Structure formats: C-alpha cells, structure tokens
Structure 1
Amino acid sequence: MTLHTEKGGISRSARRFLWKLSYLQRKCIFSVLSVGRFPTHIAFIMDGNRRYGKQRNLKGGAGHKAGYLALMLMVIYCCELGIKYITAYAFSIDNFKRGPEEVQYIMDLMLEKIELELSKEDSLFSRYGVRVHFSGNMELLSDPIKDAAKRLMVATANNSNILLTVCLAYTSMNEILHAIQETYQEKLAQIQLQESISEGRISMCNPEQGDHVLKLAEIEKHMYMAIAPDPDIIIRTSGENRLSNFLLWQSANSCLISFSQLWPGISCWHLVWAVLNFQRNHYYLEKKKKKQI
C-alpha cells in the first residue's frame, strides 16, 4: 500500500490509523480504570502556553494555539473516559494586566475558535455530545466574544454527554462577591415583597425566624459555577502548586494534582495518572466530606 505523504511527513491515512490504534489502547486502559471509583468532574488550570511557545521558538501566540488543541484532546479523552463535567481556566481577570498585544491575540484566537466551531456541521462538540458553558464576569469581554459565546451555548444546549465549562474573565474572589451581591439583592426583594403584602405587620425583623439571614445554599445558587458539582480533581500544569484564584469555594475536598509538563504538552497519560491518584485518595477525601456535614 502506498502512503502519500503530506505536510509534516506523514499521510492522512497513516494519521487515521495511528489515531485508531491509540484509541484502542486508551479504551483498554480506561476499562481498567473504570473498575475503581470514578471522578465526575475534572478541572484544569491550563498553565504554560507562553513558556511552551518560547521554548520552541514559536512565532506570535502559537503557544496559545497549541494550548487550545491540548484542551480539545482533553475533552476527547474525558468523553472516552466517561467524565461528565470538565472545567477549563481559560482566562483570568488578572490576565487583563498582561501586555495589550497578548491580550488582544488571546481574545482574537478565542473568537476565531468559537466561530469555527459554530460554522462546522460536524464539529467536535456535536460529535462527542459536548455542551459548552462560559462562566465568569462576561461583561468584561468585548461584544463580539460575548455574542459568539452565547451562540455557542445555545448551539450546544441539547448535547448531554459532557459539560465543558470555560472560565473566561474569571476569578474566585469575583465569583464569591458576585454571588453574595446577587443573593443580597434577591433576599432584599423578598423582604420588601413580604412587608408590602403584610402592610408592615410581618415579623421579618424577628431574628428567631432567620428569614433575613443569607444562607449558604442561597449563595451557592448564585455562583458562576453553580452549573456543575464541585470538582473531584483539579489539575495544574507547568509545575506550579497554586490555585491562582480558581474554584477556591468549590475545591475544599478536591484532589489537587500538579504536573511539571507545560499545558500544550499534556497527554492522555497525565489524565490516567490523575484518575489513579484520585482513586488512591478517594477514601480519605470521602471521610473528610462526611466530617464536614
């Protein structure tokens, strides 16, 4: 059989064969993993795109492009593994402090990739049944990105295999502040409504009733990340051991894993190791959760 080589020195048919071979290999490994306790939600702090580009002398923001491809591969692997929720820390509010050229490049790349997925009839999201949700202070983003993000959420709303939450213009401190403000406004409206109905005779000001007190469940309902359960695993690349203002509220009982590998170089094997580590520590984490209840 003659294989016609393409750009990069390998033919398309050869690439397909290698992908099918790797798929069968992953299928065998994932079936073994499924014997143990399985995580429901994995979150990624995608650190190291810039360093990856610099190390390989890539032009412009090519490191960020490589990071996007790495995220798409992780989505595929998680779908094959049966993970129901993925969260990706794509752009922090603090990232707006970077150089204007880099920020603009990232925003343009984000818009380009969203529009590309919207234009495809057979996109990765439709093939794998991925529902996409954007979380964060979306008002900080430009109108074209906000519009494209909304359209992608609508376009994928009926997909039910896995939920991919992309955290854009996000920090935990901003999320918590937003949730408390929203809860306060909702509580205030309820109090005013009840007072108007009872014509000033209600006992809402009675501390024993506690109706005027903000409750934990009410605050959590207004979190940006209320759409997904708390993460079982949080993976950070590039060797850093910090959460960097990411899911601080939700990570009390998460298994935190740090890889020295830069984000664009993350592989299926990193995911396998993370799940194995979660399974090894699951009993301890569950014990901690029960003590908190």
Structure 2
Amino acid sequence: MFTALFACWTALVALVYNAFLRVTISVLSAGPVPKHIAFVMDGNRRYAGKHKKMVHEGHADGFEAMRRMLDVCLRLGVQCVSVYAFSIENFKRSPTEVEALMSLCKTKLEELCQHGELLDKYGVRLNVIGRKSLLPSDVQEIVRKAESATRHNNCAILNICMPYTSRDEMTTATESVAQLCIDGKLNVNDISEHDIEDHMPTALGGSTPVDILVRTSGVKRLSDYMLWQVCDNTQIHFLPTYWPDFALQHMIPVILAYQRKIWTIEPKAR
C-alpha cells in the first residue's frame, strides 16, 4: 500500500515539475536567450560530506545535475553549454578519487551518447576539450567514440572540459599559431589575437563567445577556466549552492539578470 502511494506521489511531483518547467521555459524564452553558458561545477565533495555520502557519490550526483541543467538550457534554446568537469590539477587528488572520476566519466559519456538520450534528442555535438592524452586509454577511446557519434549533430554544442586548464588551452593555441609561422603559412609580424582565438579548441569546435559563466559552491574565483573566453562582456555569477543541488530555481535569476542587461545596459551602449 505504502509503495503504491509513494509511486503515485512521485509521479504527481514529476508531473507538476514538468508543467512548471514548460511554463518557465516558455516565459524565459520570450526574452533574449544567451547563446553560450559555461559552468564551473564546484562543490561535489562538500555536498557529499554534508549529506554523509562517499566522494564518488557526490560526483555522480553532480553529473545528474549537469544532465538536468543541460536539459534546461537546451529547452531554453541555448546554443552552447560548457562544463568544467576535470582540471589538469585534479590529477593531484588521491588515486582512488581520480580513478572513480575516470570511471564515472567513461560510464556517463556512454550514456549521454545512447540513442534517445539528451544529445541525440536535441541534436547536440559533443566536444571534449583539454589535454586528452592525459586520460586513461579506455577513457580516450570512449571520448573518440562519443565525439564521432555526435559529430553530425548541428543544433547545439556541449563542451566537456577535461582534463583542462585555460593556461594549457592558450599555450596549445599559441603553439599552433607558431607552427603556422614555422611552416611559412603566417608571417610572425602579422600575428593577432584573432589568430590565437581561432585556434582555441572552443572556436575549433564551433562554440560562440561565452555570455554567462556560473560557478557554484560560493567560491569566487575562475580557477583557470576559460580565462580567454570570459575576458569580454561575460556575466559572471558566483552562487552559494553546491553543484549537485543546482536546479531550475537557481538558474532563473541568472537568465533574468542576462535579459535585464540586454534590455537596459546594451541599448544605452549603442
């Protein structure tokens, strides 16, 4: 009896949430929608400690939050979503945590690319951005398969940054431009910031400039994430919520702040 009542209650809650989501998305999408939102998904470990969970369970809940936010962004019409999944510096964490994270990445990438999943449903191209050669060989193989399976999708983009730092990204782009000069395809005196930008993995993957960057957990720093991409006209939001708890109610004020900016500040600038 109790099980049946609980199942009915769960179904009712899901129904109400989906109705609320549809109405909210409809209202928000009536205004200007950002093209590119980037997330620093911070607070998984502190969330796990708060809820007396294992660290890997906190990371697993964090992935579900990513899936939830990706769904919201895609319904809203956001063209590109970028997430900071794993820093190069994270390899300094305990071998047990790193191994658990790599296993989770492997499993969840496979899930994301299954037929009928979010990427397939919304026509999303997946780009894994970072020093991929540092990943275990089995994870590298899954990354290749995931990118290949979604390469034909052209409705939206998901950038998963792992293992990534912005300094490494800029160094790699600079090396690519230097190679053009060595090969005689570019004059060293003609190098501009646009040449560097054009060789950023985000640009190579077709991403638009970042309109909004959100970092959860209350920490107010960028942690070597997209330093080049957020240097011009990007709204940055530092929110106290741990990433696994991040949900639609936290996203609404972020979108409204962006729309206020478009409606008030930018017209004056023009």
Aligned mate of 1:82, from 77, 86, 106: 77
Q: Does 1:95 align with 2:90?
A: yes
Match of 2:129?
135
Aligned mate of 1:188, from 159, 164, 182: 182
TM-score (normalizing by structure 1): 0.84
After superposition, residues 15-164 of structure 1 pair within 5 angstroms as 15-118=10-113, 120-164=114-158
Question: For the structure 1 residues 191 and 86, does the alpha-carbon distance in structure 2 shift closer, same or farther, using more than 3 Å as the test?
Answer: closer
Cα-to-partner distance string for 1:76-105 (whole Å, 9 max, x where unaligned): 111111111100000011111111111111
Match of 1:247?
226
Give, in angstroms, the shift of residue 122 of structure 1. Answer: 2.5
Give, in angstroms, the shift of residue 271 of structure 1. Answer: 1.2
Question: For the structure 1 residues 46 and 279, does the alpha-carbon distance in structure 2 shift closer, same or farther, using more than 3 Å as the test?
Answer: same
Give, in angstroms, the shift of residue 116 of structure 1. Answer: 3.3
Contact persistence 2:38–2:213 (CA under 8 A): yes
After superposition, residues 206-285 of structure 1 pair within 5 angstroms as 212-226=189-203, 227=205, 228-252=207-231, 253-282=233-262, 283-284=264-265
Give, in angstroms, the shift of residue 31 of structure 1. Answer: 2.1
Question: For the structure 1 residues 21 and 250, does the alpha-carbon distance in structure 2 shift closer, same or farther, using more than 3 Å as the test?
Answer: same
Cα-to-partner distance string for 1:129-158 (whole Å, 9 max, x where unaligned): 222111111111111111101101111222
Give, in angstroms, the shift of residue 190 of structure 1. Answer: 2.1
Give, in angstroms, the shift of residue 284 of structure 1. Answer: 3.5
In structure 2, distance between residues paired with 1:286 and 1:239: 32
In structure 2, distance between residues paired with 1:127 and 1:191: 41
TM-score (normalizing by structure 2): 0.90
Question: For the structure 1 residues 60 and 47, does the alpha-carbon distance in structure 2 shift closer, same or farther, using more than 3 Å as the test?
Answer: closer
Cα-to-partner distance string for 1:156-213 (whole Å, 9 max, x where unaligned): 2222332111000111111111101110101220259xxxxxxxxxxxxxxxxx6643
In structure 1, distance between residues paired with 2:180 and 2:2: 65
**What secondary structure, in the 3-state scheme, does the structure 2 residue paired with 1:169 have?**
coil
Cα-to-partner distance string for 1:212-236 (whole Å, 9 max, x where unaligned): 4322221111112112111100000
**What secondary structure, in the 3-state scheme, does the structure 1 residue paired with 2:221 have?**
coil
User: Aligned pairs, how many?
Assistant: 266
In structure 2, distance between residues paired with 1:286 and 1:247: 27
Give, in angstroms, the shift of residue 278 of structure 1. Answer: 1.1
Match of 1:199?
none
In structure 2, distance between residues paired with 1:215 and 1:287: 30
Gaps of 5+ in 2: none
In structure 2, distance between residues paired with 1:20 and 1:47: 29
- Amino acid across the alignment from 1:269: Q
Larger Rg: 1
- Amino acid across the alignment from 2:153: N
Match of 1:10?
6
- Amino acid across the alignment from 1:136: G
